[in-house]
Amino acid sequence: MVLQMGSPAPSIKMEDWLRGEPLVNFQPGKVYIVEFWATWCELCIAEMLDLMRLQEKYRDSGLEVVGVAANEDAPTAVEARTKLDAWLAEKCPDLNHRIASDFTGEMKKLWREPSFCVGIPTSFVVDRDSCIAFIGRAVETRHVLHRCRARDRGARSGLMTSQ
């Protein structure tokens, strides 16, 4: 099955949550940005900082950012977690959103491969109805959220709803 804008969002299948509470499923009425990134990715640092700003700005409006560490070069899940923890402490000490490790590649199979977005960084916006509203780079996500706010001015929270 192809994952594209308008598709129901796949499930979240990660066992190793490094920051924040585990997310088991998407809550109706919330908007999520699911960001795939890696410690070796230069662009990912800038995007991570931008996502932290978005999380801060829109948290009270129902936005949840979920970072998915993907493609880490480590022989075991424990070593991947150690590497990720050190990287996060150094590069993003004030992190304000959830982070999980996709060491098994399950999220890649559910999200990136069906959307043909196997590179990183890649962001998916999940709307209030748990459908994919955007697939692309986090830098473009800000514009998507602003467009959705403009389209949605009468809504209670100002973030996206399905059309």
47-84 pLDDT, tens digit each: 888 899 999 998 888 899 999 999 888 899 999 999 99
- Kindly provide the b/e burial profile for residues 102-131, where b requires at least 16 CB atoms within 10 angstroms of the residue's own CB: bbeeebbebbbeebebeebbbbbbbbbebe
pLDDT for 149 equals: 53
pLDDT for 163 equals: 43
- Flag residues of the chain having pLDDT under 50: 151, 153-158, 161-163
pTM for the whole structure: 0.87
Q: What span, in angstroms and rounded, lies between the C-alpha atoms of 55 and 147?
A: 17
pLDDT for 104 equals: 92
Contacting residues for 10 by C-beta, under 8 A, at least 6 apart: 3, 110, 111, 114
Q: What span, in angstroms and rounded, lies between the C-alpha atoms of 36 and 159?
A: 22
For each of the domains in the chain, give its residue range(s) and CATH number, in order of start.
16-151 (3.40.30.10)
pLDDT for 115 equals: 95
pLDDT for 153 equals: 47
pLDDT for 37 equals: 93
